Structures are given as C-alpha cells and as structure tokens.
Amino acid sequence: MLKRTIIAVFILITSVALGQGGTTSPYSFYGIGIQKFKGTAENRTMAGISVFSDSIHVGLQNPAGLADLRLVNYSVGASHKYQTQKSSFESQQSTATSLDYIAIGIPMGKLVGSFGLLPYSAVGYDLQSEEGNTITQSSGNGGVNRAFISFAYKLTSKLNLGVESNYNFGSIENDVFSKQEDLELGSRVINRSEFRGFTFNFGASYKTMVSKKLELSTLASYSPGTNVKSDNTRISSTIAVLPSGFLAEAQSIEFEDPDSDFIFPSQFTIGAGIGAPKRWSLGLEYTGQKTSNFKNRHIELDSSLDNVEFVDVVKIKIGGFFIPNYNAIGTYWKRISYRAGFHFENTGLNIEGQDINEFGISFGVGLPTGKLFSNVNIGFEVGKRGTTNFGLIQENFLNTFLSLSLNDKWFEKRYYD
C-alpha cells in the first residue's frame, strides 16, 4: 500500500511541478539558463557535498554511492526561493518555487539501481532597457530536464563503482521586442530551442576505517562532454503597437536550423571526508566544469552578448552532519540529523570583465518519521550571486528546502503460523 501511494503522489507532483522553471534570475538569459543543484535536500543542507552515503538515503550526484543503499527508498524534494535583485540604482524582490527531484532506489544485493526525474537548468527572466529613444523588452522561460537511470555495484566491502545515464529534454524560448518612441512599428525576435539527447556520469567511492572510531570516505566522478541535439527556430516579426497597447503582428519570417548540436560540458568532482560512522562527519569537495567552450545556443539573441565570456566553473564545498544517537529509544531529539555547510562557486559567467560568483551558507535537520529510518528533511540556504559593479545585478537569496525520504522493504519473506 505504501509503495502504491508514494508512486501515485510522485506522478501527481511531477505532472504539476516539473515543468516550472523555478528561477527569476536575469543571469538565466545566458547559455541554457541557471544550472539547478543536482542532489537531495540532505546533500544541499551540507553545502551540496555527496561524499557521505549510507543505507537509507538515495544519492543523485555520485552514482557509486548508491551501492550502500539497503532499503527501497522513495525520495522527492522541492524548494522555494526568495531573492532581492539589486543594481546600483534600484532593487526588487521575487520568488520562485520548483520541484527539485523525484527518485526511487532499489537494492538488489551488491547491485543497486535508481531512476527518476530532475531539472538540469531553468530560464525565467523579464527585462527592460532603454538606449536613446529605443526601448527593448526581453523575456525568457523554459529549461532542460533529465530522466535518469543509475546502477552501482559494491565491488569490495570498501570500493563502489557506479554509472548513470541521463536523457535530457526540454525547450527554451526567448522573446526580444524593441521599438523607437517616434516610430509606429517595432520589431520582435522569438528564439526557441528544443533539446534532446543522452549524457553520462561515472563514479567511484571508497571507505575505510583509519582508526577504531574514524572512517575515511572518498569519491571521484566524471561526466564527459557530450553533444545533445538542439532544434532551433527563429521568428522575426514586424509589430504594430495599437492605441490600446496591444501588439499586432504586421509581417513575420520563420527560420529553422534542425541539425545543430549543443555541447553539454564535461565535469569532474573529487571529495574526501572523515568522521565517526552514524555519528558525525566533515567533508570537502571540489568540482570543475569545462564551460569555457560554452555557447549561448546556436541562435544568438543580440549584440549584447559581445561583453559576455564563458569561463570554466569551479565549485568548493565544505559540509557535514551530526547525530547525537541515531538509535536512541524513547528520546526523539537525539535521533535528529543536524547538517550544515558553505560553498563558493564561480558560475562560469564573466560579464563586463566581472566574474559572476556565488557564495552560500546552508543548514538543516533530518527528522525521523515512521519505520525503517524514513525521514523528513528541512533546510535553509542564504547567499548571494553576482555584483552591482559595472551596471550588473546582485542577487541576495534565501532558499527553503523540503524533502521526503521514505524507506520500504521489497522481496521480504513472510512466514505464517
């Protein structure tokens, strides 16, 4: 009954929320948008580190960590972002809510499988600029989603290997309208890209006791750069602005380029952590992503991209957890997991010679619920992205996370008197 109920809830949530962009950032104008965090709320409250894997949580970042799973796990997570976007002259507030992931992990002895859905990137912005007597309005929406299937194998008691296959799909639309104040007609350009194709991720993890109480955990993962099909369409129109304020299309021309490719950049992650198993751990991870060969998709939007350079992404994450007594009987608060961490990231964008960096501090708790170590996870993250220098925008944000990690047993032998 539990399994059928959870799967039904997952399907309902996915149909409603997966298509939502989940961002209002003007920096989603570039490339294929803001890259979404890939990982569970448990990871995110520890700054995003994934070096710690266990028997009751499914992992989404390093597929090798799945091999430690011993119970069938259903996981779903969502987040809400409140942010203030400010320039040197003004500021405004915005909010966005999104489904972050839905996943099921199934242990089969030394082999463990997992599958699910998650967003890879999100686009959502609405901008207006004035230059002379010309007003330009730009908006965008959409994103790229991933359906994934992963397998991990416990090669030895210490070493796990894993592989993940992702099917990427989605669409992004950008709309640019410009008009001079003294002219009746304006121009509109709508660019639409449809993405579809496979990417892969390979991982390994290694754990060993370095003393009677301390365990060393390490990981490495690599995603090769992959070409993904991108079908691009541009619609160029002449627009008449009616006295009522409505826009009427006077003339339109459509161009198609169905055979172009988009390069998903390669990425590697290494990490290490030390701690007492099931009590506390502290870890450090480094991620590099080859985004310097990124393009703003096949169809360029306007000349404003001349001041933009894509550089390689660098992420540094430090985080950990503490559990007073995971197996305490009669004392609920001792079984709560307390997590925290901080991260620094070069987002891969350089605008007007300024690197667009991000810094965040996260913290949260894992609340035990029900049987088989199921839990509800609540977390928060505060941080900032960007700068107000050179007319750019700084985003100060507060993220709230909520996830369910529910465990069940399959293939259990039952005995009757």
Instruction: Report whether 229 contacts 261 (CB < 8 A).
Output: yes
What pLDDT is recorded for position 245?
62
Which class is 2-408 in CATH?
mainly beta
* % residues pLDDT > 90 (the chain): 61
Q: For residue 33, what is the enclosing H or E element?
A: none
Per-residue model confidence as pLDDT tens digits over 225-259: 998 888 888 888 888 776 666 666 767 777 776 66
- Domain residue limits, the chain: 2-408
Mean pLDDT of 170-174: 92
- Report the mean per-residue pLDDT for the chain: 87
Whether the per-residue pLDDT at 3 is higher than 50: the answer is: no
- For residues 258 and 271, the model is more confident at 271
What pLDDT is recorded for position 21?
56
What pLDDT is recorded for position 296?
55
What pLDDT is recorded for position 235?
87
Mean pLDDT of 306-311: 84
Instruction: Report whether 131 contacts 304 (CB < 8 A).
Output: no
What pLDDT is recorded for position 15?
46
pLDDT range class, residue 206, cuts 50, 70, 90: very high
Least confident of 5-9, 33-37, 110-114, 177-181: 5-9
What pLDDT is recorded for position 16?
47
pLDDT range class, residue 201, cuts 50, 70, 90: very high
Those residues whose C-beta lies under 8 Å from the C-beta of residue 122, and which sit 6 or more positions away, are 21, 22, 23, 28, 33, 34, 36, 98, 143
- Is 170 buried (19+), middle (13-18) or exposed (0-12) by CB count in 10 A? buried
Instruction: Report whether 173 contacts 140 (CB < 8 A).
Output: yes
Whether the per-residue pLDDT at 204 is higher than 60: the answer is: yes
Per-residue model confidence as pLDDT tens digits over 17-49: 554 457 889 899 888 889 999 999 999 999 999
Least confident of 166-170, 202-206, 258-262, 396-400: 258-262
What pLDDT is recorded for position 260?
73
* % residues pLDDT > 70 (the chain): 87
Buried (b) or exposed (e) across 58-93, using 16+ Cβ within 10 A?
bbbbbbbbbbbbbbbbbbbbbbebebebbeeeeeee
Whether the per-residue pLDDT at 148 is higher than 60: the answer is: yes
Whether the per-residue pLDDT at 263 is higher than 90: the answer is: no
- For residues 131 and 404, the model is more confident at 404
CA–CA dist 137, 299 (Å, integer): 18
- For residues 183 and 250, the model is more confident at 183
Whether the per-residue pLDDT at 139 is higher than 60: the answer is: yes
How many degrees, rounded to 5, is the angle at CA 317 between CA 311 and CA 322? Answer: 165
Whether the per-residue pLDDT at 301 is higher than 60: the answer is: no
What pLDDT is recorded for position 413?
54
What pLDDT is recorded for position 1?
47
pLDDT range class, residue 410, cuts 50, 70, 90: confident
Whether the per-residue pLDDT at 417 is higher than 50: the answer is: no
Mean pLDDT of 322-330: 88
Whether the per-residue pLDDT at 273 is higher than 90: the answer is: yes
Backbone angles phi, psi at 6, to 5 degrees: -65, -45
Mean pLDDT of 109-124: 95
Per-residue model confidence as pLDDT tens digits over 62-107: 999 999 999 999 999 999 999 999 988 888 999 999 999 999 999 9
Q: What is the DSSP string of 133-145?
A: TEEEEEEEEEEEE
Whether the per-residue pLDDT at 112 is higher than 60: the answer is: yes
Q: 375-386 and 34-35: which strand pairing? A: unpaired
CA–CA dist 272, 61 (Å, integer): 14
Sign of the dihedral defined by the CA atoms of residues 324, 329, 331, 337, in that order: positive
